[in-house]
Chains A and B, each alone.
Chain A
Amino acid sequence: MIAGRAGDGVLFTGNVLARILKREGWEVVTCRDFPSNIRGEATSYIVRASLDRIGGRGDCLDVLLAFDCDAVSAHIREIARGGVVFCDGEKVAPIPESEKANRTFHPFPLRSLARSRFGREVFKNMIALGALSYVLNLNHEILQRIISEMFLARKGGEVVAKNNEAFMLGWNQAKDVIDEAERHPLVKSPDSGRVLCSGNEAIAFGALAAGCRLFASYPICPASEIWQMLALHMPRFNGAVVQTEDEVAALNMALGASYAGARAMTSTSGPGASLMMEAFSLSGMAEIPVVVAHVQRVGPSTGTPTKTEQSDITQWIFGSHGDFPRIVLAPGSIEECFELTVRAFNLAEKYQCPVILMSELDMGQNLRTAREFDFKTVVVDRGRLATPGNLAAEPRFKRYALTPDGVSPRAFPGQKNRLHMVEGNEHDECGYRDESPDLRVRMMEKRMRKLGGAGKDVPPPVTWGDAGAEIGIVGVGSTLGPITEAQEQLAALEVKSKFLQLRTLWPFPVKDVERFFNGCSRVFVVENNFAGQLARLIRSQVECGPRLERVLKYSSLPFIPAEISEKILRALA
């Protein structure tokens, strides 16, 4: 862990360390904990590396590099026995003897070293990276390449040389102060050609690959990285990115673009999602495909914008006015952020309805290693489009033709002989307002039967662990990592478990969940919220099955595996 205060360069240091480790061939998971503040408040960055696939931050810390003494006090209980702590020497307060057991503490004057050698404190981060690299026995050359990539083009050779010097200074200082036995040397494995990427960036990759051509959004934490990446790359793909005046405009603009023929998307978090509820209903009524990426943060209200939670799970499933079809997907890994985004665009156009991608800050903003994205196998399915055979009698085209599966051919403005209305009011087959009760019934049933066939098309849940186990766990999204690790902890104590990772929240996979419940004596639903929204959702859809026991965390931090395994063990005892 690297810890300090906002403005110390914790994020920079953590990102670079994660990249070095990734290039050394490690599986990497990061976990940032930062305030809604640019300078001054406490912040930390965990980098976890393993040769096996990992999905979460883990239970404890082996190395802590602290930019001030408060950071040591804040995290001392998380440090493993045998752990090593570096703390910027000028501000170290004495550590109580009781806390010192089997942990070593080294004053490390990062700031004064930076000031005396380089005249600028900013070099403390590169010195810190040198010290960490010594402890972990990382490869100099990789770091030097990364320094060149970061600074050579933008700032020139002198800056590169100074950073290299600072890195070596940290390396050598660390070598002087710690014993060989205190190091945590990592065994090298070849870089397996994986990527280091956040969930938000993976969603942006998915949008680019799926042919998104208009992205309209309003700045909000923790979703903005999706937009920032699209803003950088969309022009190359003949697409446009718009910063709208608010989230109301963002979703309406995406709907206008989709109606006019483009694949369109917006991104947001809780408060923005609340503003989008009105246009969400319009997309359902007017049958306009659209994709919304919702990266959850702590609510209610403004909540804690820079911390993670899963308390908007039911917002898009039961939200907005009126009954209309919608699809809600929830990726559990970086790979799934990419794959489910591509699928979201295809599902939206196939079923002509809004598709929501639900992720959360822990997945959205933290870097993790992932399999390279396979762009070659991406298939774009635009759904049912008007063909010359659909040419309706002038002057009106049946945009909302009553069909057996409820899906009607789409046409776009600018096409000849396809004039029609797209209507938010109840309407006839050509889209013209019609209030007759009989038509209302037929149109409502048409819209709602569209998802009748969607069950086979949406991503099914994945079962992890021992399929024959009687202990069942259900979760969604980024709890995948901590839950599977908790399963390993349980297995080590000879408690077998199976875990159902839901990837589609709506239409709800009733059959899959019922099948999973078969043979379960106990079922634990693990989720990052107070009210147990996922458990409530399951209960509202699945009538039979065992009682659902809740494993909840709403401290604004993601789960660590021990919190899940211990809670389950206690319940079983």
Chain B
Amino acid sequence: MRKKEDYHLDDPTWCPGCGLYGVFEALKRAAAEEGIEPDETVVVTGIGCHGRMNNYFRAYGFHGLHGRVLPVASGIKLTNPGLRVIGVSGDGDAYSIGQGHFIHSVRRNVGLLYLVTDNRIYALTQGQVSPTTELGFVSVSSPFGSKDYPIDGPTLALAAGGTFIARGFAGEVAHLAGLMKKAFHHGGFALIDVLCPCVTFNKVNTYDWFRTRITVLDDSAGNGPADKLEAWKRLQDKEAFPIGVIYREEKPSFEELVVPDPGRPLAGNDLTPDVSALEKIMENFR
């Protein structure tokens, strides 16, 4: 039986009150309750305050480039589908510089859990607007108010053919841990967009601001709606953020389609050249 302390490698140094504490806590709880093996888990992070997650969460870790979490995570998953691969990004990482990777990883249905910690601001670079910032938001990069309309990650995922689309709130740790546990059982790409307040640079979208707007979806049956139209409607309500599993369906994962033999990971197999197979191919060049 695992305890959540088993996953606690180090004490975080995020700003006191940061939403990322809630995400870290929920991840440890979900991992413990599901008995996840740290040796068989890789956490891939991008650049942003969230990027420290694998300094604190005990597992294998890969901290690469800004916005490139998903191609790295996909390469790991394809190479060894037995690994549990968790990507963690911020809103800038996922929905701005990494947007292309995001929709393509969603459409490929790579078997990853992707946590997008959305604080609606660039915090590590000290307070510029992000792609999820509201129109008119005043920041160091938008002193006269943001002129960009925001985009919504779960809506994009729905349009891109996502198979597990959920939204959580860093202020509702038990609910968020529950979403992660469901995602761990999903065979394809699982997106959890986490409303994740930044207490230092975003004084508008605070815990209280979110708390008065969220509505908890009744997904007690476990799977959320399988109706895309219904999911779409829920995502369009700008005043009431539904939290829970918004859409879910089953589809073969990318690794099931691409890896020739699911029982034999690409990693670690014998690399001695298959001389007869190679010579047979060479016959075509005579």
Contacts and interface: CB of A to CB of B under 8 A. Distances in A.
Contact of B71 (A194, A195, A210, A244): A244
Contacts of B71: 216, 244, 248-250, 252-253, 256
Interface in B174-230: none
B285 A213 contact: no
A255 B258 contact: no
A214 B78 contact: yes
A422 B62 contact: yes
Contact of A264 (B54, B75, B260, B275): B75
A419 B62 contact: no
Given A205-B281, A252-B64, A419 B38 contact: yes
Contacts of A433: 52, 55, 63
A214 B271 contact: no
Contacts of A412: 80, 267-268
A263 B271 contact: yes
Q: Which of A211, A256, A262 has the most C-beta atoms of chain B within 10 angstroms of its own C-beta?
A: A256
B1 interface: no
26 contacts: A205-B278, A214-B75, A214-B78, A214-B266, A236-B277, A237-B277, A238-B261, A248-B101, A249-B68, A249-B71, A256-B72, A257-B266, A261-B266, A278-B65, A375-B275, A382-B271, A412-B267, A413-B39, A414-B39, A414-B82, A419-B39, A419-B58, A419-B60, A421-B63, A423-B61, A432-B55
Interface string A194-213: 11110001000100111101
A375 B281 CA distance: 12
Contacts of B273: 208-211, 375, 378, 380
A242 B77 CA distance: 13
- Interface residue range, chain B: 35 or more
Interface string B249-286: 00000000011110011111101111101110110011
A210 B74 CA distance: 23
Interface string A266-290: 0000000000001100100010000
Contacts, number: 203
A94 interface: no
Interface of B: 9, 38-42, 44, 52, 54-55, 58-65, 68, 70-76, 78-80, 82-83, 100-101, 104, 258-261, 264-269, 271-275, 277-279, 281-282, 285-286
- Most chain A C-beta atoms within 10 Å of own C-beta, residue among B41, B80, B264: B80
A137 B266 CA distance: 50
B75 A279 contact: no
Interface string A413-438: 11111111111110000011100000
Interface in A322-375: 372-373, 375
Interface size class of A (residues with CB under 8 A): 35 or more
